[in-house]
Structures are given as C-alpha cells and as structure tokens.
Structure 1
Amino acid sequence: MTEDGAVDEDLLTIGAFAARARLSPKALRLYDRLGLLTPAYVDETSGYRYYRHSQVERARLVFLLRQLDMPLARIAEVVAEADGVRAADLVAAYWADVEERLAGQRTLAHYLRGRLSGRSSELYAKFEVHTVDVPEQWLITEKRHTLEEELPTWIPASLGRLESAAEECGGTTGAPYVVYHSEVADVSDGPVESCVPIADPEAARAWATENARAWGATARLEPARRLAYTRITKAQVAAPQIHAAFEAVEAWMEGEGLDYAGPCREIYFADWDKAGPEDEVCDVAFPI
C-alpha cells in the first residue's frame, strides 16, 4: 500500500501473478491457506490478494515440489531454507526416501501378483533358507507392546539405547535382534523385545535394575538355539513385504518336518544407515 491508500504499483493482482507464475488462482489460494506462499498484501475491504514479482520463483518452487508428491511439511522446510545448497540437500534426502519406499513397494507388488495367482511356492523359492547354531548368550533387552506402524520408530530407538548401554556391560558379543513374542499388526501389539548380546552379565543386571522402570529393561540368559533363517535386503524389511520372508521360512520348516522352538526374530547384522535398498541387512529367523 502507498501512503494515500492506493495499491502499490509493484504489486500484482492474483490473476496477473498467476499468469506470471503459470499457476491458477485456485492453487495460489491453496498455497496461502497452507502457509507456503503468503500474499504481499491483502485488501481488508475486498479481500483481494496481491503479490510481488519477486515471489514468482517461490510460487514455481512450491508447484514443482508438489509434483514430487512431497508432503506439505517438507515443502515448507525447503521453501523456508535460505541456503540454496541446504534446500537442495533436503530435496535429495526426500527423494532417497521415495526411492527406498518404491523399492519396497515393487517387491510387495511382485509378491502379491504371485500369491494371488497361486504361485506362492515359486515366490518362496527365491528365499534361500539356512540353519545356524547359536550358543547361549547374555542379553540386555527392552520389551514393549507396539503396533506395526510404530515399529520403524521404536526398533532403532530401542536398539540404539541398548547398544549404548552395552558399552557399560563389557561390549556387544553379537548382532542385535528383535523378538516377536506375539503377532504385531495394525490391531495387534505384540509384545516385541529388542535384544543386544553382551559380555558382562553382572554389569548387565546392574544396568537393567537401574533402567527397568524407564525402559522395561531386563538382563537375561538366552539358551543355545538352532535357527532356520533367510537373509533379506533393506527394501524387503518394510512391512508388509517382510511377511513373505517369514512365510518362506515357515514353508521350508513344514517341508522339513520341523517344529517351532520359540518366537520368530529379525537379526540386524549390517549398518542400517549406510545400506542401500538392495543391500542385505537382516536375517528373518525361527528357532527350531
């Protein structure tokens, strides 16, 4: 606005600005409502929106980011970032997440096509099943009732706490793993137990006593077991495609006439953060 109440000539009506930005007025009103692109001025009497030409670049950026199906919260992070390199890094990180999700969905779609067409046995054949004898070992653990959608958050958090605590318990002696004591789904909450093998049982018991109330921590001796397992990639870990791996091991056990000797588990032997979607990171296993 100028001092005499007239609209600044530098301002563009929403129609003129939409033409410059190659967007519709409807899209601009949506961006305003979402807080992604606020008009430079809104007339209090008429409600008309006005924009500056300098806002065109931001308007186009918001439009392009929406073409990537980027969530609005992440778009807000990108457009608010003054450092262009940092903004580019945010886009790169988002697209890496998309590619990881698509890799998992590709695996799931392949599995579902085979299952629905009656070719489950062919799908299971791609999972090579082995057995391994695991000696008894002392563990520090956390146990929690949790739904399937909460697992991607809770598992790394709990294993991170346990691996840090293991430094006080003589260090780790094996790969961390997660035990499913009962079904975990969108309506079934386990419980689930995160476990880290450690070297010093006395220190582990002391740690568990201190943390039992905060984290449901325990220290226990896991007996020696024989496991039937199959190795899967990072993309295959995501639910529900991981269920194909579990089913493949169960089918192999049935074919071998073997019984369950305990709850199923996921053993994480690789650095999750450094692994790509097709890198092997986890063994899906059943005690037999």
Structure 2
Amino acid sequence: MLEDVKDDLLPIGQFARLCRLSVKQLRHYADLGLLPPAWVDPASGYRYYRADQARQALSIGLLRSLDVPLSAIGEVLSGTTAVQALERIRDELEAELARRRRTLATLERLLSQGLPSARVRLARERPQRVVTTRETAASPQDIGRATTACVARLLEHAHAPRAGGGQDEGPRTADVRLVGLFPVEMDEPIPVTVALRTDGPAPRGTRQDVLPGGLFARATHIGPYDQINLTAHALLAWCAERGHAPHGPIREVYLSDPARTPPERLATRLMVRLGEAAP
C-alpha cells in the first residue's frame, strides 16, 4: 500500500523516467538480478526504487548502449572484475569489427569482379610423405587462428640458420612447402590440418602421414587468404557442374611467403581430389 512506502522510495514508473529506461527494462534487469527493487509491495506486487539506485540504473543503460551484453554487466558493476570484463568485451568487439572489415573487402571484390570464377585444370598428383599437425576451429571465423597455430608449429622445426653464418631471420614459408587441409562441409567444430612436405622425422607436436595421390581439379587464388573462399566456391562449382563429388578435404598449397608478399599478391593453389584412386 502507498501509505506503507517510505518517503525515499520512488514508484517504478517515476524511477524509469528518472533513469531514461522503460518499466519493461527495469523489470527485466530485476529478474536478472542486476537491479532489484528496493521494496516490493506485498499486497500489489508494485515495485519501488531508491533514488541512490539511479546511478547503477544509468550505468546499465550506458553499458547496453556500448553493446556490453547483460551477462557481463554484472561483472562490470561488481567492481572486482570490471577491468577484465571490459577488456574481454573490447577484444570481442575488435574481433567482430575485423571480421566485418574482411567481409566488406570480399563484397568489394565481388562488386568489382562479379561472382567468383576460376581457371580450373586437372592434374594427377603422386602420394606425398608429410608431417601434419592439427587444430580445431570453433567456427569459420576461427579458421585463421587455427591455421596460423599449425603453421607456426611446423615452421618452428622447418628452418635452420641461413647459409653464410648470418643470423636466422625467422620462418620463411617460401623455403618450405606447406599444405592446408580443410573439410568441404564446415560443420562446427572444424578440424584444421596443415602438412609439411618432408621425408624427415616428425617433430614434436606432429605426426607422419601420407597425402593421397590421384586426379585433382585445381585452381590458383591470387589475393588475401581471407578471400580464398571465393576461389574455393568457383572450384567446387566447377566440380559440381561436371558431376564430380570432392573426395577428401580441400587442399591449399601456399606458394607465397606472407612475410615477403603483399596480401593482394599472395598465391595459393587450391586442389580438390576427384575420388579417383592413385595409381
């Protein structure tokens, strides 16, 4: 009852206007435990708030305007883990922004060049001895990270100091032959494998394997790695139009050293095995 309400309490409607929130939002935040009312009338169920709760209510509104999810706002308001929570949200937003920029770059390429097409050739490959290492990508957006981790693991053991006694300048993919192996169907999680063509022993964290030979359809992608999907689309479309079902993963043979080659000039050979057994 209103006569039972203390003078320092505000009805939910008045408090909502004071904090630039809706009554519905206040009820939702209360249900989540973010902003419980100071007092609830046991007879009517009507909610009341103290004026000193306005700062917390306005802070919730500010954080929501910055796309901080409700699940993290409690951490921020608690004060004990506020910095860590905000840093995590910042990193997630930066990753999403980077993904959006890559998507925009791909759309610009489609606008300038049209739907992807590629010159496809048939080639017969022999089986190849390799060492491989694997990572699991949580989503298509995580494939770059997983691939980079695999490459770093292989390159750690692939180079010796340069000839002439000079100090090693670090990994150079132009000096080795790396092959990425990716499933045609991107069901999550996504297994990512990178192979290093070698007859030597398998270094720590890798295992010896054999890449099957056979008849392959292949095309060359020129451009950034994050636009390889355009050439992969064209290659798979070529196979589908001719009734060829891919047999095994898509292979990416890295022909350029990304440390020395501009992204727009990177060359990658894409290969799809057509299911014919190696001789």
Pick one of 183, 208, 227 that aligns with 1:219: 208
Instruction: Decide whether aligned partners of structure 1 residues 236 and 71 sit closer, same or farther in structure 2, where only a CA change above 3 A counts.
Output: farther
Supply the AA of the counterpart residue of 2:194.
C
Q: State which structure, 1 or 2, has the greater radius of gyration over its C-alpha atoms.
A: 2
Partner-residue secondary structure (3-state), 2:114? helix
Farther-moved stretch of structure 1 (164-173 vs 75-84): 164-173
* Aligned-residue offset at 1:21: 0.2
| SS, match of residue 124 in structure 1 | coil
Q: CA RMSD in A?
A: 5.3
- Judged with a 3 Å threshold, the aligned counterparts in structure 2 of structure 1 residues 143 and 52 are, in CA distance, closer, same or farther, namely closer
**Residue correspondences, number:** 240
Q: Report Cα offsets for 1:76-103 as digits up to 9, x if no partner.
A: 4444445776565455334323422432
Q: Which residue of 2 aligns with 1:100?
A: 98
CA distance in 2, matches of 1:270, 1:55: 54
Give the counterpart letter for 1:179 in structure 2: L
Displacement after TM superposition at 1:15 (Å)? 2.0
Please name the residue that 1:178 is paired with: 180
Among candidates 209, 221, 230, match of residue 230 of structure 1:
221
Question: Is residue 23 of structure 2 the alignment partner of residue 31 of structure 1?
Answer: no
TM-score by length of 2: 0.56
Counterpart contact for 2:12–2:23, Cα < 8 Å:
yes
Please say if 1:286 is aligned against 2:264: no
Contact 1:264-1:284 at 8 Å conserved across structures: no
Q: Secondary structure at the match of 1:39?
A: coil
Q: Distance in 2 between matches of 1:7 and 1:195?
A: 68
For structure 2, the residue ranges without an aligned partner over 5 or more in a row are: 121-127, 161-170, 240-245, 273-279
Deviation per CA, 1:181-239, whole angstroms, max 9, x where unpaired? 5x2145xx7984412538794344x866xxxxxxxxx42255899974325547647xx
- Rate the CA distance shift 1:195–1:90 in 2: closer, same or farther, 3 A: closer
Counterpart secondary structure, 1:142: strand
**Secondary structure in 1 matching 2:201:** helix
Kindly indicate whether residue 134 of structure 2 is the aligned counterpart of residue 142 of structure 1.
yes
For 1:38 and 1:281, the matched residues in 2 are separated by 57
By how many angstroms is 1:22 displaced?
A: 1.4
In structure 1, what is the equivalent of residue 114 of structure 2?
Answer: 122
* Pairs within 5 Å for 1:55-204: 55-82=53-80, 89-107=87-105, 122-124=114-116, 138-142=130-134, 150-152=139-141, 156=145, 160=149, 163=152, 174=176, 178-181=180-183, 183-186=184-187, 192-197=191-196, 201-204=200-203
Where does residue 265 of structure 1 map in the other structure? 251
Give CA deviations for 1:260-281 in whole Å, capped at 9, x if unaligned: 998423578769xxxxxxx779
Cα deviation, residue 65, structure 1 = 3.4
CA distance in 1 between counterparts of 2:30 and 2:78 reads 14
CA distance 1:38–1:281, shift in 2 (3 Å) = farther
Q: Per residue, is there more helix in 1 or in 2?
A: 1
User: Contact 2:40–2:46 at 8 Å: present in 1 too?
Assistant: yes
Tell me the percent identity.
28
Report how far residue 252 of structure 1 moved: 9.7
* TM-score when normalising by structure 1: 0.55
Q: Deviations over 1:107-141 (max 9, x none)?
A: 566678x6xxxx9x63437x999xxxxxx673223
Change (3 A) 1:150 1:19: same
1:161 to 1:247, Cα distance in 2 relative to 1, 3 A = closer
1:20-39 alpha-carbon deviations (Å, 9 max, x no partner): 10111111001122333222
The residue number in structure 1 matching 2:123 is none
| TM-aligned CA distance change 1:15 to 1:150, over 3 Å | same
Gaps of 5+ in 1: 130-135, 209-217, 254-259, 272-278
Task: Specify the code of the residue in structure 2 equivalent to 1:245.
Answer: T
The equivalent residue for 1:246 is 232
CA-CA distance at 1:179 after TM superposition: 0.9
Cα distance in 2 for residues equivalent to 1:61 and 1:122 = 47
